[in-house]
Amino acid sequence: MEDNYVKHRFGPLDAKGWKFAIDSVMRYDRSVVFKISGRKSASETAVLHIDTETFAILRIELRERMVNGEFYRRYLNLPDPYGQQETSFTMLFEFREFEGKMYLKYQREEDTYNLFNKTTNAIILKQSFMKELFVNNVLPHQTHAPDATMNMNRSVEGQAKPYNEAFWKYYNAPVETARDSQILKALSEMESKP
């Protein structure tokens, strides 16, 4: 949540060093939008969808990746003798209007990394990660603050609760319909006949 470019005005919305151009005017999610391409460098690009009437930002996609054999690289410090190198990064945000205000609807982050030996530069492991956040309910008229244990100031992984076997036992299991019950009963009767 701390990566929200609109809320915190960074990434392509910082605008320093970015060049933007309107690609087209098009329909997007029941709105007419400006589709705007941004470029900071050969490896760092963005696409924004902005409502033509309200100028609300409906979608932002930032990409940082390899171009012509050259990688976008961000080195992360690890204890010797290893290093980690981020080789691509994609961040996507989608927003929607609810009761006259814009809210985050969807967020997706994709990263790829190489773990390497600092002495030999040999790549030991390539990793890819993808995280998604779907907002399916907005509660704009809360009369009390949310429980402090439910805040989103930490990563979703950091908020994981212990495995709940009873919950997952039937989660997303198909519900047997009356027609299914009749079919199962008929099959059972057929099985019991000689």
pLDDT digits (tens, 9 = 90+) for 56-66: 999 999 998 87
DSSP output for 92-113: EEEEEEETTEEEEEEEEEEEEE
Beta strand 74-76 with 44-51: parallel, antiparallel or unpaired? Answer: unpaired
Element of type H or E holding 142: none
Residues 6+ apart with CB under 8 A from 180: none
Query: What are the residue boundaries of the structural domains of the chain, listed by start?
Result: 5-165
- Whole-prediction pTM: 0.66
Number of H helices and number of E strands within the chain?
A: 3, 8
Strand, helix or coil for residue 123: strand
Average pLDDT for residues 89-94, to the nearest whole number?
91
Say what the pLDDT of residue 10 is: 65
pLDDT digits (tens, 9 = 90+) for 107-155: 999 988 888 888 888 888 898 999 888 888 888 887 777 676 666 556 6
Element of type H or E holding 21: strand 19-28
